[in-house]
Structure 1
Amino acid sequence: MNQISGFLHWLVDVPLPARGRREPLEPRFRKKRSANAVVTTTCEFLRFGVRQEWVPVDVGMQLSNEKHLVYLPRGYQAGEDGQFRTIQASELKFTVSDEGIAWLPPDEVDRVVLGTTRARDRFLVGLLWVTGMRIGEALGLRREDMHLLSNSRTLGCSIAGPHVHVRRRINTNGALAKSPVSRAIPVTELAVGLYVDYVHERDDVAVLSPEAWTSDMVFVSLFRGSIGRAMTYSAVKDMFDRLACRVGLVVRPHMLRHSAATEWIRSGEPRDVVSALLGHQSPSSLALYLHITDGEMRTAVENVAARRELAGVR
């Protein structure tokens, strides 16, 4: 156990290796939340080893202790008699605060879209914002998934209006749709226009590098590395890091998913519709997107105070 505890601290104390050829100005370190995830996975593998008789039983018994849940996590079912309130909880982890789910209001999303310098990047940002899809789903899109005409019957699709199909596949870039259930997500004229601009940009690159159109993947490398290769998670992260510095905002792909969901909910769209758009398997997953602003909380307090004043109650 001392070795695993040492490994946990090593994960946050030792700087991460530099990415690419450029040396970072300052060393980068893992966050405690990331270290917890690594050690949790390690412990689960050791428990699997106990079941397979690769690891001594006494080692597995030290990996966790019984814990009684006084406050239940959202969506957790304790059982009719509370029999599931006692769980096996890991003691090998850092205590981290819940920072909440980061998201962007519409005006900041506009800043991000306008901050892009290439049509491909602009389309990627716009697509994530319009559809709320996960970055893995976007990077796994094929050209055959882009049904952007008002009528797609010629493509063998009966869904009306422009939309994109999200399907779980094995992709060369490692992108993977989280849900095994395929779904079609409607898109707006904005997304269609951004895609047309991106197609023109890809055509321009293909004049000098025909490889730009070799891949059937929607998002491919056009400006560095192997032209035409499907974009990877690391390439998208680098793109978003540059974009964040350019617009002066913290922005990551998943923040656009949360932003889209938040706007749908605030616009009064039915919860089951929003869940379907996001590809959720459980309605309780939607609770993460109920972002309340300081202004909304102040309005609630002032509204109650005004009603109490009218009723003559202090």
Structure 2
Amino acid sequence: MSSDSAASTPPTLDDLDGIARVYPHGPNQFHIVRPQIEQRASLVKIWGIKPGEKVLEIGCGQGDCTVVLATAVGDEGSVTAIDPASLDYGSPYTLGQAQAHLKASPVGNRITFVQSDPVTFVQSTSERYTTAVLAQCSWYFSSPRVWSDILAVLLERVDRVCISEYSLTASDPRAAAHVLATFAQAALEVHKNESSSNCRTVFSPERLKDAAIVAGLKLQQETLIVPPEGMLDGRWEVGWVLSKDFEKEIDENVKDEREKAVVIAARDSVRAALELLKAKDEKVHTMDVWVATFTKN
């Protein structure tokens, strides 16, 4: 795990290379990490995260958004980053490995990682935060109710809520395969009682927005952004749907013939979209991302 900036001064928000070097990566992985950091930095700038803020991040995972938030808030600010997943979850680095690496980094003193159910944590703390951030984490929730429950408890602890999620739209036609792969996964996931998938409950921006408004939040701003070239999430999701392991999961979890036909057809549509790209010598792009800021009514 690279630590070439472990002893250096903290990077600035405009120093994307510097932030990417702080984030855990192997010798040949910088080109993968850099676009991820660029996309997270775009979010943080749209949300207007300021130095000195006290940020609560829900669903931090390995901390790719956490490190950008910690850069933005500066030494006078802080980021409390929560994720309920086991510390041995994740690849190529587990949550535990990535979080330990970031704690030892130049921005580590600004970050507190918490392994907890978000609702339980927020209900148990008396702390107040300037901003809650939920960056592309809602699809990991086990049901729509989890999203609503989190928004409800956040109202008591934060001044505003900043959200991003994949939009299910493809401004770049190369991202159509990523959109289709999402629905293929969603068609399979509804047949599972438990899951470690990236797409457990798929929300559209409209449903996320509606839930926020019902919870008592007011939409302040929203926009769509196209992820940078080199952000590989779309390729990873397409690759998973077309893998033998995904096919095996269909057989193991979907018993009704008609329901299985839906999942298989969705998978076939992903393969067809990929073949169209290959015929043009193009690769899968990652779909658009919806970015929004909410305040209290």
Larger Rg: 1
Taking structure 1 as the reference length, what is the TM-score of the superposition? 0.25
Which structure shows the bigger proportion of residues in strand conformation?
A: 2
Taking structure 2 as the reference length, what is the TM-score of the superposition? 0.26
By relative contact order (CA 8 Å, sep 6+), the higher-ranking structure is: 2
